[in-house]
Structures are given as structure tokens and as C-alpha cells.
Amino acid sequence: MLAYTEQAMKSRTCANAFLATLALLVVCPDGITSTYQNDDNAAIDAYIARQGQRERGQEYREARKVVVGDLTHDNVPETVVLYTIEGQHGTNRHTQYLAVFSRQNGRLTPITHAAMGSKSVGGVELRSVEDESILLDTLSYAAKDAECCPSVPGSTRYVLSGRTLREQKKGASKGRHS
């Protein structure tokens, strides 16, 4: 009988601990969100840092933009990151990249990335993820634009096809970007 009582008390203690944890999740979701957000930021930082090392450049951190949305038709959001690596191999050049991450076992895992823009090619600005597409504003070069200053605004969209980003040509700008 004593063994049963001890087992019952342990079960009740476990149940109470579970309920207390559940209450904390409901009452204090910010703590949980910030833990996930910190882990997500660390995964993104590490991914970009590795690419910067391969290119012998570094990220221009202030230009990074992150949006979340479903790209794979599964009602589970992917994380899309636009980032810039600059100073590759000691130059004054830069390249913008778009990377897509999925959540696997609670952690962000890279799916793919692609170059989006660079000095003398044009630039992009990540707008949103809508209708399973990544929407971007573009700036392309007119024939007489200086290398510093693309002036032709436009837009484009990318979809995730397997592990590849594919541009949907409708809405792409007409300058030297595409």
C-alpha cells in the first residue's frame, strides 16, 4: 500500500509540474518565443558567417531582413532571409543573397540560397511571403545609370521548387537586374 501511495504522489507531482509548465506557456509566451527567436537568429548568423568565410567577406548586418511564410504548401512556415556579403576577397563589391530555412526537429535548417543582386547588377528588397511566393522589390540599372545608383524600380517573385528558388518572370523589372 505504501508503494502505491508513493507512486500516486509521484504521478500527482508530475501532473502538477506539467500543469505548471503549461500555465507558464500560456501566461508567459514571450519567454518561449524569445528562446526560439534566439536559436533561430543563432542558426541564421552561423549560416551567413560560414558563407562570408568562404567568400572571404563579411555580412553587412544592418541590411539583413527576415520574413516568415509558407512556401511549400504544407501550412508550416519557412523563414526567408535576405542578406548581403561585402568586401569579398578585399574588394569593395557586395552580393545580396536570399536564403530559405525550414524548421526540422525544432531548429532552423537551410534549404537553399541564391544570389539576388550585386554592385553593377542591381539590388532587391525583401517585401513579404504571400501565396507561397517570395515577393521582392527590385532596382535595376538604366543604360546611363552610374554603378552606384540603379534607378529602374520593379518587382519580382520567387517560388521554392524542391530545393531551388525559381523566379517567376511576371512582374520582373526590365533593367539589368534580371
Residue 27: the pLDDT is: 41
Domain-wise residue ranges, the chain: 2-168
* 38-89 per-position pLDDT tens digit: 899 999 999 999 999 999 999 999 999 999 999 998 999 999 999 999 999 8
- pTM of the entire structure? 0.74
Of the given ranges (2-6, 30-34, 50-54), which has the lowest mean pLDDT? 2-6
Is 160's pLDDT higher than 50? Answer: yes
> DSSP of the chain, one letter per residue?
-HHHHHHHHHHHHHHHHHHHHHHHHHH-HHHHHHHHHHHHHHHHHHHHHHHHHHHT-EE-GGG-EEEEE--SSSS--EEEEEEEEE-GGG-S-EEEEEEEEEEETTEEEEEEEEEEEETTTBEEEEEEEETTEEEEEEEE--TT--TT---EEEEEEEEEETTEEEEE-TT--SSS--
* 136-159 per-position pLDDT tens digit: 999 999 999 988 889 999 999 999
Q: Higher confidence at residue 15 or residue 135?
A: 135
* 75-127 per-position pLDDT tens digit: 999 999 999 999 998 888 899 999 999 999 989 999 999 999 887 788 899 99
